[in-house]
Amino acid sequence: MELPENQYPRLLLHGGPIVEAFMALRQRLHEAFPSDIFRHIVVPPNAKRATWERLLTTKPAIGLAWNAWKPHGDCGATFRGDLVFAVFIAVQHTDPGRLYVGVPGSLRGMGAMGAAGAAAAFLHARALPGELGTPMVRLIALPPTADWLADDVGLVSLEVTVPNVSFDGPALAQQLDDFKGLAVTWQDAEGDTLVAPPPQTGETA
Protein backbone atom coordinates (compact mmCIF):
# COMPACT_ATOMS: atom_id res chain seq x y z
CA MET A 1 0.00 0.00 0.00
CA GLU A 2 1.26 3.46 -0.93
CA LEU A 3 -0.02 6.88 0.07
CA PRO A 4 0.99 10.23 -1.39
CA GLU A 5 3.14 12.30 0.94
CA ASN A 6 0.61 15.13 0.98
CA GLN A 7 -2.02 12.75 2.41
CA TYR A 8 0.05 11.61 5.41
CA PRO A 9 -1.30 12.74 8.83
CA ARG A 10 0.12 16.23 9.42
CA LEU A 11 0.57 15.72 13.16
CA LEU A 12 2.84 12.75 12.56
CA LEU A 13 4.87 14.45 9.83
CA HIS A 14 5.31 17.58 11.90
CA GLY A 15 6.33 15.82 15.10
CA GLY A 16 3.38 17.08 17.13
CA PRO A 17 4.20 17.87 20.75
CA ILE A 18 7.91 17.08 20.31
CA VAL A 19 8.35 19.97 17.90
CA GLU A 20 6.03 22.24 19.86
CA ALA A 21 7.96 21.69 23.09
CA PHE A 22 11.30 22.12 21.30
CA MET A 23 10.24 25.44 19.78
CA ALA A 24 8.77 26.66 23.07
CA LEU A 25 12.02 25.90 24.89
CA ARG A 26 13.99 27.69 22.16
CA GLN A 27 11.82 30.75 22.63
CA ARG A 28 12.30 30.61 26.39
CA LEU A 29 16.07 30.39 25.94
CA HIS A 30 16.01 33.43 23.65
CA GLU A 31 14.22 35.32 26.42
CA ALA A 32 16.82 34.29 28.98
CA PHE A 33 19.84 34.77 26.72
CA PRO A 34 19.29 37.58 24.15
CA SER A 35 20.42 36.71 20.64
CA ASP A 36 22.32 40.00 20.25
CA ILE A 37 24.78 38.66 22.85
CA PHE A 38 24.41 34.86 22.78
CA ARG A 39 24.64 32.69 19.69
CA HIS A 40 21.75 30.21 19.62
CA ILE A 41 22.36 26.87 17.93
CA VAL A 42 20.59 23.55 17.43
CA VAL A 43 22.84 20.68 18.44
CA PRO A 44 22.48 17.79 15.95
CA PRO A 45 21.94 14.23 17.12
CA ASN A 46 25.19 12.43 17.90
CA ALA A 47 27.29 15.57 17.40
CA LYS A 48 30.96 14.72 17.00
CA ARG A 49 33.97 16.66 18.23
CA ALA A 50 34.43 18.49 14.93
CA THR A 51 30.77 19.49 14.99
CA TRP A 52 31.08 20.90 18.50
CA GLU A 53 34.18 22.84 17.50
CA ARG A 54 32.31 24.36 14.57
CA LEU A 55 29.21 25.15 16.63
CA LEU A 56 31.21 26.80 19.39
CA THR A 57 33.29 29.10 17.22
CA THR A 58 31.36 32.04 18.70
CA LYS A 59 30.89 32.32 22.45
CA PRO A 60 28.86 32.76 24.55
CA ALA A 61 26.57 30.23 22.90
CA ILE A 62 23.34 28.42 23.76
CA GLY A 63 22.59 24.98 22.32
CA LEU A 64 19.43 22.89 22.41
CA ALA A 65 18.94 19.22 21.53
CA TRP A 66 16.15 16.65 21.89
CA ASN A 67 17.21 13.47 23.68
CA ALA A 68 14.23 11.20 24.37
CA TRP A 69 10.51 10.64 24.85
CA LYS A 70 10.28 8.24 27.78
CA PRO A 71 6.90 6.47 28.01
CA HIS A 72 5.03 6.01 31.24
CA GLY A 73 4.69 2.38 32.20
CA ASP A 74 0.90 2.66 32.41
CA CYS A 75 0.29 4.93 29.41
CA GLY A 76 -2.20 2.43 27.97
CA ALA A 77 -3.64 2.91 24.49
CA THR A 78 -2.33 6.47 24.11
CA PHE A 79 1.43 6.97 24.06
CA ARG A 80 2.32 9.37 26.83
CA GLY A 81 5.62 10.16 28.48
CA ASP A 82 8.31 12.65 29.41
CA LEU A 83 10.09 14.61 26.70
CA VAL A 84 13.77 15.04 27.55
CA PHE A 85 15.87 17.88 26.13
CA ALA A 86 19.49 18.92 26.60
CA VAL A 87 20.55 22.56 26.93
CA PHE A 88 24.18 23.56 26.55
CA ILE A 89 25.71 26.91 27.48
CA ALA A 90 29.28 27.76 26.44
CA VAL A 91 31.13 30.65 28.07
CA GLN A 92 34.70 31.82 27.69
CA HIS A 93 37.14 33.56 30.05
CA THR A 94 40.92 33.38 30.30
CA ASP A 95 40.82 33.52 34.10
CA PRO A 96 39.57 30.29 35.75
CA GLY A 97 37.76 32.25 38.45
CA ARG A 98 35.95 34.34 35.86
CA LEU A 99 35.08 31.16 34.02
CA TYR A 100 33.02 30.17 37.05
CA VAL A 101 31.62 33.49 38.33
CA GLY A 102 31.93 35.73 35.28
CA VAL A 103 32.25 39.51 35.21
CA PRO A 104 29.92 41.20 37.74
CA GLY A 105 27.08 43.09 36.08
CA SER A 106 27.93 41.87 32.56
CA LEU A 107 25.55 39.63 30.64
CA ARG A 108 28.14 39.07 27.93
CA GLY A 109 30.69 38.27 30.61
CA MET A 110 28.50 35.71 32.37
CA GLY A 111 30.31 32.74 33.88
CA ALA A 112 29.29 29.10 34.09
CA MET A 113 27.55 29.52 37.45
CA GLY A 114 25.55 32.53 36.35
CA ALA A 115 24.57 30.83 33.10
CA ALA A 116 23.40 27.75 35.00
CA GLY A 117 21.36 29.85 37.42
CA ALA A 118 19.75 31.92 34.67
CA ALA A 119 18.81 28.86 32.64
CA ALA A 120 17.27 27.17 35.67
CA ALA A 121 15.31 30.30 36.59
CA PHE A 122 13.84 30.71 33.10
CA LEU A 123 13.16 27.03 32.39
CA HIS A 124 12.27 25.27 35.64
CA ALA A 125 8.59 25.13 36.69
CA ARG A 126 7.50 27.82 34.24
CA ALA A 127 4.61 26.55 32.13
CA LEU A 128 5.03 26.44 28.37
CA PRO A 129 2.33 27.90 26.09
CA GLY A 130 -0.89 26.01 25.46
CA GLU A 131 -1.21 22.56 26.99
CA LEU A 132 2.40 21.45 26.62
CA GLY A 133 2.97 21.40 30.36
CA THR A 134 5.66 22.64 32.69
CA PRO A 135 9.36 21.92 32.11
CA MET A 136 11.51 20.69 34.98
CA VAL A 137 15.28 21.00 35.18
CA ARG A 138 16.47 17.56 36.35
CA LEU A 139 20.23 18.08 36.24
CA ILE A 140 22.79 20.86 35.81
CA ALA A 141 26.38 19.74 35.27
CA LEU A 142 29.74 20.50 33.72
CA PRO A 143 30.30 17.57 31.34
CA PRO A 144 33.87 16.33 30.86
CA THR A 145 35.33 18.25 27.93
CA ALA A 146 39.07 18.18 28.64
CA ASP A 147 39.87 16.34 25.42
CA TRP A 148 38.08 18.70 23.05
CA LEU A 149 37.59 22.17 24.58
CA ALA A 150 40.26 24.71 25.48
CA ASP A 151 40.97 25.57 29.11
CA ASP A 152 39.34 28.98 28.73
CA VAL A 153 35.95 27.53 27.74
CA GLY A 154 33.30 26.29 30.15
CA LEU A 155 30.36 24.17 28.99
CA VAL A 156 27.27 23.89 31.19
CA SER A 157 24.70 21.18 30.41
CA LEU A 158 21.12 20.96 31.64
CA GLU A 159 18.71 18.05 31.39
CA VAL A 160 15.23 19.50 30.94
CA THR A 161 12.11 17.33 31.07
CA VAL A 162 8.61 18.21 29.94
CA PRO A 163 6.51 15.63 31.82
CA ASN A 164 3.45 13.67 30.76
CA VAL A 165 3.26 14.68 27.10
CA SER A 166 1.11 13.03 24.42
CA PHE A 167 -0.36 13.85 21.05
CA ASP A 168 -3.59 15.80 20.99
CA GLY A 169 -5.86 12.75 21.19
CA PRO A 170 -8.96 13.96 19.29
CA ALA A 171 -6.93 15.75 16.61
CA LEU A 172 -4.68 12.75 16.00
CA ALA A 173 -7.62 10.34 16.01
CA GLN A 174 -9.38 12.45 13.37
CA GLN A 175 -6.29 12.61 11.18
CA LEU A 176 -5.73 8.86 11.52
CA ASP A 177 -9.36 8.21 10.60
CA ASP A 178 -8.95 10.45 7.56
CA PHE A 179 -5.66 8.67 6.79
CA LYS A 180 -7.26 5.23 6.87
CA GLY A 181 -10.14 6.41 4.70
CA LEU A 182 -7.95 7.77 1.90
CA ALA A 183 -7.58 6.08 -1.47
CA VAL A 184 -4.89 3.42 -1.39
CA THR A 185 -2.69 2.33 -4.29
CA TRP A 186 -0.86 -0.86 -5.05
CA GLN A 187 0.77 -2.40 -8.12
CA ASP A 188 -0.33 -5.28 -10.33
CA ALA A 189 1.94 -8.01 -11.66
CA GLU A 190 3.04 -5.78 -14.58
CA GLY A 191 4.05 -2.98 -12.22
CA ASP A 192 1.15 -0.72 -13.15
CA THR A 193 -0.32 1.29 -10.30
CA LEU A 194 -3.92 0.53 -9.43
CA VAL A 195 -6.04 2.90 -7.37
CA ALA A 196 -8.88 1.79 -5.12
CA PRO A 197 -11.37 4.42 -3.94
CA PRO A 198 -12.25 4.56 -0.24
CA PRO A 199 -14.92 2.01 0.70
CA GLN A 200 -18.46 3.38 0.83
CA THR A 201 -20.83 2.90 3.72
CA GLY A 202 -21.72 -0.77 4.08
CA GLU A 203 -18.79 -1.91 1.95
CA THR A 204 -15.58 -3.57 3.02
CA ALA A 205 -12.13 -2.74 1.64
Domain count, the chain: 1
Task: Give pLDDT, residue 30.
Answer: 98
- 75 found inside a domain: yes
CATH number of the structural domain spanning residue 112: 3.30.2000.10
Residue 61, pLDDT > 50, answer: yes
Within-domain flag for 82: yes
Average pLDDT score over the chain: 83
User: Is 106 among the domain residues?
Assistant: yes
pLDDT in tens, 80-109: 899 999 999 999 999 999 999 999 999 999
pLDDT at 21 over 60: yes
- pLDDT of 42 reads 97
Give the model's confidence band at 24: pLDDT under 50 very low, under 70 low, under 90 confident, else very high: very high
The range of the structural domain enclosing residue 136 comes to 17-166
Helix, strand, coil share of the chain (percent; to 5): 30, 30, 40
Residue 189 lies in a domain: no
183 falls within a domain? no
Using alpha carbons, list the distances in angstroms from residue 84 to 13, 32, 179.
20, 20, 29
pLDDT of residue 187: 46
Residue 23 burial class via C-beta count within 10 angstroms: exposed 0-12, middle 13-18, buried 19 and up:
middle
